[in-house]
Amino acid sequence: QGVTEETPLDFHSPYGCSKGAADQYVRDYSRLYGFDTVVLRQSCIYGPHQMGIEDQGWVAWFMIATMFKRPITIYGNGKQVRDLLYVDDLVAAYDTCIEHRKTVSGHVFNMGGGPSNTLSLLEFLAFLKDDLGMEVEYSYGDTRPGDQPMFISDNSTFEQMTGWITKTNTATGIANLLEWLKANKDSLQQFYST
């Protein structure tokens, strides 16, 4: 089913701690001052215009690294699972928050692709190779501190309160990202070529 908003927070890293503190600030501004605020705890967002790097934006990074023959390192065993949320679905969620701002004000919602849009790192690399025909080369490194073995968002509270649902499955979203990367390969080359 996935991680609900009631699941106790476990920050795993200073980065996670800073995100948790920001969540609380936003909630407190709603509670104390009556501001219409909402927190969307975003999972793995991907899509066109994402300039992925090794530490952030792994979906785009794996595709960009493959395209420009850059090394990919899988930290850990590659079986880490994430739910992927296409950027257009995230934008629709923000639009939904604006439309339903009185309903969602003061709430925190997990926001990801949910259980139907999950992939492990190795499954994603296999998809790139088998379904998209990309030549993928990678090596393994030690697990990094703070990496979670699995994270899948449960979006059901937000869905029930607003009617929002994810519309883009991972195969379509990844194909859209690849199309954008190919169309912009010349522009991207200055940032990613070796």
Instruction: Give residue 15's pLDDT.
Output: 85
Catalytic residue among 15, 25, 94, 140: 15
**Calculated CA dihedral for residues 44, 112, 99, 159, nearest 10 degrees:** 180
CB 153 within 8 A of CB 1: no
Q: What is the tens place of the pLDDT at every residue in 75-118?
A: 999 999 999 999 999 999 999 999 999 999 999 999 999 999 99
79, 119 contact by CB (below 8 A): no
Convert the pLDDT of each residue in 109-161 to its tens digit: 999 999 999 999 999 999 999 988 888 999 999 998 878 899 999 999 999 99
Q: Is 15 noted as a catalytic residue in this protein?
A: yes
- Annotated domain spans of the chain: 14-192
- Helix residue spans in 7-155 (DSSP H): 14-33, 58-67, 87-99, 101-104, 121-130
Distance, CA of 33 to chain centre: 31
Do the bridges between strand 138-141 and strand 72-75 make them parallel or antiparallel, or are there none, so unpaired? Answer: parallel
| Structure confidence by residue, pLDDT tens digits, 137-151 | 999 999 988 788 999
- Tell whether the torsion through CA atoms of 39, 42, 48 and 51 is positive or negative: positive
Instruction: Classify domain 14-192 at the CATH class level.
Output: alpha beta
Full-model pTM: 0.93
Whole-Å CA distances, 116 to 24, 82, 108, 178: 29, 11, 22, 21
d(CA 61, CA 54): 6
The pLDDT, as a whole number, for residue 55 is 85
Of 36, 31, 44, 50, the C-alpha closest to 148 is 44
